Structure 1
Amino acid sequence: MISKMEHVAVMVTDMERSIKFYSETFRFKVRLRGVRFDREMAFLYLESHPSMEIELIQELKSIGDYSNTGKVNHLAFTVEDIDEAFSYYKEKGIEFLSDEAKQTLEGGRMFFFSGPDGELLQLVERGL
């Protein structure tokens, strides 16, 4: 069902500083940047490997420390059909954090669930 590794999300405290760091140090480029759900997000990619991204997330309202979710917030996987994947993994015993897909910043859909050690995982159907 999973077709590729999607992205790794990293919680940041200063979006400009983090974009500058990843861009100048590692040559990442910004593909998409915006605000949704009291968060600023930026998706960065390497020209040599554009299908794997880093998602930078800065909370616009304080939520305390990141001890429960960590600095690396979640691991995401691309799926072709989010509804089919939801049904498939639900039959395998996955307990999703919601029963309805949420919209992504770029118009796709997503579901979150937890891995065996409580790590946050995400299925993503990319937008058109």
Structure 2
Amino acid sequence: MIKVKQLAHVCIFAHDLEATRRFYSDVLGMDTRFNFLRDGRIFGFYLDCGGRSHVEVFEKSEARYSEANQINHLCLEVEDIDAAIAHFRSKGVEVTPKKFACDDTYQAWVRDPNGVKIELFEYTDRSAQFTGGDRIADW
């Protein structure tokens, strides 16, 4: 029997590698852990999400994004969702209003420069992720 310890990484493709790096670095504050090189050129990188979790990014200019992609979105926990929303807006990034979800978490949504959806999450003391119990989806 295998036991999964945690999410290691989510891999996304980038139309513009450096615009994507700037978004995740300047807007989300995620540091580059390392780059992938081929023929002396950077073609991808790993971003630190805290702990041992990462976002892996590879350049792929021909990538197309739609609702049918296998990875629908990535979700990042934030300490203060109101501050996060204000931060995104100050950087000129569109962000949805804060919503209190059926799992007793706060959430908001943004997109990176490639259209990849990112859910921002703030847990509460009643969040289902900690308390358990089924929740009725309101979406």
Under a length normalisation based on structure 2, what TM-score does the superposition of the two structures give? 0.43
Q: Which has the higher contact order (CA 8 A, sep 6+)?
A: 1
TM-score by length of 1: 0.46
Largest Rg, 1 or 2: 2
Indicate the structure with greater strand content: 1
